[in-house]
Structure formats: C-alpha cells, structure tokens
Amino acid sequence: NAGVTQTPKFQVLKTGQSMTLQCAQDMNHEYMSWYRQDPGMGLRLIHYSVGAGITDQGEVPNGYNVSRSTTEDFPLRLLSAAPSQTSVYFCASSYLGIAINIQYFGAGTRLSVL
C-alpha cells in the first residue's frame, strides 16, 4: 500500500512564482485535507474536501487553491508564492464517520519561498 503520497518532497520558489503540490491516496478515502506546519504553531488546516467535486476552506486558506476532480487526488496550488508561505505542507486523508476516522498523513513537502 502506498498510502498518501506527496510530491515534491522539497521545493524552492521565488516570490511571485506559482506551483502545485501534489497529493494522492490509494485507500478510497472520502476526506482529504491540506495542513501547513510552522514552528510553535502546530498544524493549521488550509483546505479540505469531503468528496470529489466538494472543497471548503480551513483556518488559513488565503493564497491557496484546491480542486478535487477524483477521489484519489487533491492538489494544492500556490497562485503567487510569498515568503510567508515558507512552511512544511502535509496532506492527509481518512474515511468520514467517527468510528472509523483515522487520518493518514503524507511525508510532507518542505517549501521555501525566497
């Protein structure tokens, strides 16, 4: 089982550039989400999706776009990168429903914006 796969692992961007962080899961999970992790701030939710064609904003959505055209994929797009977006990004997926909700995380993408 591949689980949750994130690419790339590392990325350096210049201010103003755009890029897409990829996330794919092979567990047929309905729920997928993106978090950013900054020192001393835990993980903060950027966007999430409860199924194909359905997305919603989390705590810190500004500067990021998402789409969910398939169950498996949930890409995160940075429209115009800013130094404040330097962070480690994690994608996670899970089934919906309390009894079976365990989130599986990817290994992360470390992004630096210069």
Partner 1 sequence: AQSVAQPEDQVNVAEGNPLTVKCTYSVSGNPYLFWYVQYPNRGLQFLLKYITGDNLVKGSYGFEAEFNKSQTSFHLKKPSALVSDSALYFCAPLLGGSTLGRLYFGRGTQLTVWP
**Under the rule (CB under 8 A), what is the footprint of partner 1?**
4, 31, 33, 35, 40-45, 48, 50, 58, 90, 92, 94-99, 101-108
Nearest CA to 111 out of 78, 74, 79 is that of: 78
Q: Shortest approach of partner 1 to residue 16 CB, angstroms?
A: 29
Nearest distance, CB of residue 106 and partner 1, angstroms: 5
Closer Cβ to partner 1, 33 or 85, answer by number = 33
Task: Give 3 or 16: the residue with its C-beta nearer to partner 1.
Answer: 3
First-to-last alpha carbon distance for the chain, in angstroms, is 36
Min separation Cβ 38 and partner 1, Å:
10
Residue number, 63 or 108, with CB nearest to partner 1: 108
Output the smallest distance, CB 15 to partner 1, in A.
26
Neighbour count for residue 24 (Cβ, 10 Å)? 19
Task: Quote the CA–CA distance of 91 and 83 in Å, as a whole number.
Answer: 21
- The answer to whether 87 touches 35, Cβ cutoff 8 Å, is no
Task: Retrieve residue 28's tokens.
Answer: 């047929």
